[in-house]
Amino acid sequence: MSEAVSLQTVVGVNVFAANCPSRSVLDHVTSKWGVLVIVALSGDTLRWGELRRSIGGISEKMLAQTLRVLEADGMVLRTVQATIPPRVDYQLTDRGRSLADRLIPLVEWVGDNAVEIVAGRPEAGAS
Amino acid sequence: MSEAVSLQTVVGVNVFAANCPSRSVLDHVTSKWGVLVIVALSGDTLRWGELRRSIGGISEKMLAQTLRVLEADGMVLRTVQATIPPRVDYQLTDRGRSLADRLIPLVEWVGDNAVEIVAGRPEAGAS
DNA sequence: GAAGGTACCCACTATTTGGTAAGCTACTAA
DNA sequence: TTAGTAGCTTACCAAATAGTGGGTACCTTC
């Protein structure tokens, strides 16, 4: 059990504790849409509409909600230009970029292994 | 936009496409309890009860459900010994271990940054 | 004989998450 | 005049997720 224990010891807070506030952070950074938003912004600054179009299947509601959470956690910076039509830019903060460095390998892993994993799943109604 | 585009190009499938099957894999590996189970098992094999006790706050139902999903995706291996009382061991497969290699840096990042992030959040009911 | 441990499953309920569709402001183009 | 654009917000509803409490089987300990 050496490794798992050392993990809990090394980090400042214990993610394995039920009431640890880090749990909320973990939930945000591993949320369904949060991951994709962070990775999408890892390339460069995107406008609202660009973000919406680049993340297939996201609804406006979910995009807005996800961006608000990520902004509150200091991962994403929102810049409004009061022009007509309005222009709103989203970019990663330093913190967001350091998070993206951890998320990109994960997303790449999913991309590399997804086909195999899906193909290997037992069928739901197998006899 | 070079980086974000190259990310989509490099991986075999496009995680940004709405109907891509990789989305389900992404959902599983970033699920609330899935992350903690994988990381907990990264140290070594654990029994059902050990797993339950080491992940604070998880219910039996959620642990069972999470383990079934991870087993179906080939991340976790379940070994039953038909002794009395029954003994069931859970361990990572090779695939699970390679996933853990991507998840541990993320969880460590959360552990290192959680305090700062939580402290910096705007207060909900600020005047 | 009652209680406890192990590793679950099942039904029911509650909470959270997510989707759909509409509306909003202020403009421009047809 | 109507439609369209940009970037949202709100209300309503469906679905997924999560918790509770019970039951199971078989044995050991009190």
Q: Does A107 contact B11 at a Cβ distance shorter than 8 Å?
A: yes
List the single best residue of B3, B107, B115, B123 to mutate versus A (max A Cβ within 10 A): B107
- pLDDT, one tens digit per residue, over B25-83 is 999 999 989 999 999 999 989 999 999 999 988 999 999 999 999 999 999 999 998 88
- Residue of A127 and A96 predicted with greater confidence: A96
Residue ranges with strand state E in B82-126: 87-92
Residues 6+ apart with CB under 8 A from B44: A1, A2, A3, A4, B91
* Residue of chain A whose Cα is closest to the Cα of B31: A30
Give the pLDDT score at B64.
Answer: 94
- Average pLDDT over chain B reads 86
Q: Which residues in chain B have their CB less than 8 angstroms from residue A59's CB?
A: none
- CA–CA gap between residue A116 and residue A98 (Å, rounded): 29
Query: Please, are residues B120 and A95 in contact by the beta-carbon 8 Å criterion?
Result: no
CA angle (B90, B95, B61) in 5-degree steps? 40
Helix (H/G/I), strand (E/B), else coil: A37: helix
Task: Report the share of chain B in percent with pLDDT over 90.
Answer: 65
Q: Which amino acid is at A61?
A: K
Give the pLDDT score at A121.
Answer: 82
- pLDDT, one tens digit per residue, over B16-32 is 888 888 899 999 999 98
Confidence of residue A9 (pLDDT cuts 50, 70, 90): very low
List the single best residue of B16, B36, B71 to mutate versus A (max A Cβ within 10 A): B16
Confidence of residue A5 (pLDDT cuts 50, 70, 90): very low
- pLDDT, one tens digit per residue, over A48-92 is 999 999 998 899 999 999 999 999 999 999 999 878 778 999 999
The H-or-E segment that residue B47 falls in is strand B46-47
How far is Cα of residue A87 from the mean position of the Cα atoms in its chain?
23
CA angle (A50, A94, B108) in 5-degree steps? 110
Q: For chain A, list the domains and their CATH numbers.
A: 11-113 (1.10.10.10)
Give the pLDDT score at B7.
Answer: 52
